[in-house]
Amino acid sequence: MKLRDMRRALDEKKISAPELAKEYLENINKYDEKLECYITVTADKAAAQAEKAQEIINKGEAKALTGIPLAIKDNICTEGVRTTCASRILENFVPPYNATVMEKLEHQNIVMLGKTSMDEFAMGGSTQTSAFKKTKNPYNVNCVPGGSSGGSAAVVAADLAPAALGSDTGGSIRQPSAFCGVTGIKPTYSRVSRYGLVAFASSLDQIGPIAKDSHDCAILLNAICGFDPHDGTSSVNEVPDFTAKIGKPVKGMKIALPKEFFADGIDSEVRDAVLKAADEYKAMGAELVECSMPSLKYAVPCYYLLACAEAASNLSRYDGIKYGHRAKGADSYEELVIRSRSEGFGEEVKRRILLGNYCLSSGYYDAYYRKALALRQLIRKEYDDIFENCDVILTPTTPTVAYSPEITADPVQMYQADICTVTVNIAGLPAVSTPCGYDKNGMPIGLSIIGRKFDEQTVLQISDAYEQGFTPVAPKL
């Protein structure tokens, strides 16, 4: 069932919140050993929350998400529940506070099923850098689910949760949504508070929902958006009803197709599926506009310079002293820091810290980091130019479908796979990924709809319009 179907069923007493939670917990017990989606399953907490939610439903005071089971990515702080970021350095960290998004969800009396696996500190595109659970793709367990929110996308695809929260720094909601055949939206930067989200790259990170379709994503967005005084970058813009435009026609709207997103390097089956979706929009009355985004060829190095520089700064707090893993037997402060970080961080995290410190160091700052900042402004301008004439931009979400874990051994190849998603984070724009087809092996293909800043309503309207004529195929577990 979709979230809105669950809402009706709960309110009409066709099912109770405890029964609904029990069904999902039984699915987790049955399939999660095979898929490795959850790092922590909070069965006792879910049962208690479901009982409380049912009392509220019985009083007729239910909100949109009251009694709805959800999964939470393991880099979002949950008071009293272990939050590991899939890293040994935070293996036993139990936050003493909730992230703002969790406060908002608990105010609605959701039922938390557990914390989902991810790439360590959200660094990766496969969920294979996790120190604890290397999540499998529900459509083919020999393929990756994408990342870094691979656990969150996989639980939705496999019906181990009806929806989940993820985070997106360079495509980490949209790419796994594409690989797992579900819908995920990265909101405008600052639309959702980052307070309580363990930082990777502070100018790029954004929390967002993953669900069965755009309408469900809109329902979740309604619950988690809004200004937060705890987050200095949080937007004061009024939060609209993100479901308001769902179902409205797209006739007369202009959809841009930047030629660089359909060039060499994009798998032919992916390109054909997305262009077929574009033709369907044309049949609905939308106008397709060809355009160009020349800076795309510089997007990946620009993104990784910015993200790694910020990661090196953010992760400097893990020194083995304040909290997190502390090495034993160190004879000096310097040895304690070195050993704690060496033992606690995985290879990919170490690689990005080294790259970040390198590009920020004396003699290289101007050559690399300053140029990346200039490129960021160029990318933003190119998007602004396109949006002067068009309502949204249509691209593939990923260059290929989900691949085998062996490919993750080549970091450069992995980084290049982010080519279709990173510019959205660099520019701070909203974007949704929704399935638009399947390749010859039955693996999902995702299309991406990119919108103007703070125009999530239009992005969700246009993605929903396509979903109305598309029948998704569920994975066979």
- Which amino acid would we find at residue 259? K
Task: Name the catalytic one among 126, 130, 148, 167.
Answer: 148
Burial annotation 312-347 (CB, 10 A radius, 16+ → b, else e): bbbbeebbbeeebbbbeeeeeeeebbebbbeebbbe
- Long-range CB contacts (within 8 A, 24+) of 279-286: 280/466, 280/469, 281/250, 281/255, 281/394, 281/462, 281/465, 281/466, 284/249, 284/250, 284/251, 284/465, 285/249, 285/250, 285/251, 285/252, 286/250, 286/251, 286/252, 286/253, 286/254, 286/255, 286/462
Contacts of 93 (CB under 8 A, 6+ apart): 82, 83, 84, 323, 324
How many alpha carbons lie under 13 Å from residue 436 in its C-beta half-sphere? 30
Segment (H or E) for 122: none
212 noted as active-site residue: no
Query: How far separated are the first and last CA of the chain, in Å rounded?
Result: 18
Dig out the tokens for 154 from the structure.
């996989």
- Greatest alpha-carbon span in the chain: 71
CA angle 196, 57, 49 (to 5 degrees): 40
73 noted as active-site residue: yes
172 noted as active-site residue: yes
- Which amino acid would we find at residue 131? A
Q: In the sheet that 392-396 helps form, which strands lie side by side, from edge to edge? A: 38-41, 111-116, 69-73, 164-167, 207-211, 183-186, 431-438, 444-451, 392-396, 254-258, 287-291
| Three-class secondary structure of residue 427 per DSSP | helix
Lookup result for tokens 């077929």: 276
Task: Name the catalytic one among 16, 73, 212, 234.
Answer: 73
For the packed helices 347-360 and 299-314, what is the interaxial angle rounded to 10 degrees? Answer: 100
Task: Name the catalytic one among 16, 149, 167, 172.
Answer: 172
Which of 259, 89, 214 has the alpha carbon at shortest distance from 464? Answer: 214
Q: What whole-number distance in Å separates Cα of residue 151 and Cα of residue 25?
A: 16
- State the catalytic residues: 73, 148, 172
